[in-house]
Structure 1
């Protein structure tokens, strides 16, 4: 009986050591390797075109953002963070094979989504947000939309200016009759 107690005691001590080592490995994974203090947002854009009047249409834009992490992050305009929706008109006479970058085209409107909600946006873990904007556009126009979040990461770039991390989402929509 005494031998069985000693074996059980030794087994529990060994299991306790494995539990401590496992918890330490988990903490290293979460806080060092997994970047638990880092931020991430999944940004997508959904659109809908509605009739308006004459040859004009309403382009309804839903900028959807989701915080997939288990950590809260914040965009704060006082820290020079930003959240913009850029609306551009793409050229209608491009040749076959032409490529348009996200920042190409005639600027129609730049919308400050952070300002629209008061300059401070808190993303709690797994939160999903939907920021809607409506833009009047003419029929026959091809529109490029780019939503971009930028957060000051507290460091300086190689030019000595504040450095930013960013996430973005883009889409293109044609405004048909």
Structure 2
């Protein structure tokens, strides 16, 4: 019986030594994990605040069109202006911050030539498409859809330009071309 109790005591002491070593190594691992997390947090903060500068507005704008046959020589042109906030902060747009212009492309005279859109007077130009809103706040990761409608004669081709004014950080724009059939 005495041998058995010595054996149990020896096993218990061995278990305590192993447990102490496991606890010591766990504390070391915990310290390394904490240090690694602090370093990773510092790298993340440096990247987000100094390199990416996530506080700046980041918007894009796209255009899409539909031509609807309404009978007769006129067609209904539906222009979808889709501003999207692809940044991480909300963007407030003033009521005159979204503009749209429509220019009729002249028919060619039978030879190849470059067309300068800036030299073509707009058929339609509106600089305050958002005036019906008291405030236009673009939330992050949201695509908006503003619609403009035009009755136009069939057979003509038009250049459509939309611009979104972001205030001090500049503006973004989009072009689309449509033939009215």
Q: Tell me which interval the TM-score lies in, with the shorter structure as reference length.
A: 0.7 to 0.9
Counterpart for residue 126 of structure 1: 141
Structure 2 unaligned blocks of 5 or more = 1-18
Counterpart for residue 11 of structure 2: none
| Whole-Å separation in 2 of the counterparts to 1:140 and 1:116 | 32
Q: Is the 8 A contact 1:88 1:104 kept in 2?
A: no
Query: SS where residue 146 of structure 1 aligns?
Result: strand
| Offset, 1:85 | 1.0
| Whole-Å separation in 1 of the counterparts to 2:165 and 2:109 | 31
- Asked if 1:168 is matched to 2:164, the reply is no
| Offset, 1:167 | 1.0
CA spacing shift, 1:102–1:23, aligned 2, 3 Å: farther
CA spacing shift, 1:99–1:117, aligned 2, 3 Å: farther
Counterpart for residue 100 of structure 2: 85
| Count, aligned residues | 162
Query: Following superposition of structure 1 onto structure 2, how do residues 6-17 of structure 1 map, counting pairs within 5 Å?
Result: 6-17=24-35
Counterpart for residue 6 of structure 2: none
| Whole-Å separation in 2 of the counterparts to 1:30 and 1:102 | 39
Please identify which structure carries the higher helix content.
2
| Offset, 1:99 | 3.1
Counterpart for residue 8 of structure 2: none
CA spacing shift, 1:114–1:29, aligned 2, 3 Å: same
Query: SS where residue 115 of structure 1 aligns?
Result: coil
Structure 1 unaligned blocks of 5 or more = 154-163
Counterpart for residue 113 of structure 1: 129
Query: SS where residue 106 of structure 1 aligns?
Result: coil
| Offset, 1:117 | 2.8
| Whole-Å separation in 2 of the counterparts to 1:94 and 1:35 | 50
Task: State which of 64, 73, 85 in structure 1 corresponds to 2:82.
Answer: 64
| Offset, 1:98 | 2.7
Deviation readout 1:49-83 (Å, 9 max, x if unpaired): 12235322111111112212232111124xxx621
| Offset, 1:84 | 0.5
Q: Normalising by structure 2, report the TM-score.
A: 0.80
| Offset, 1:95 | 5.5
Cα RMSD after superposing both structures: 2.0
Q: Normalising by structure 1, report the TM-score.
A: 0.81
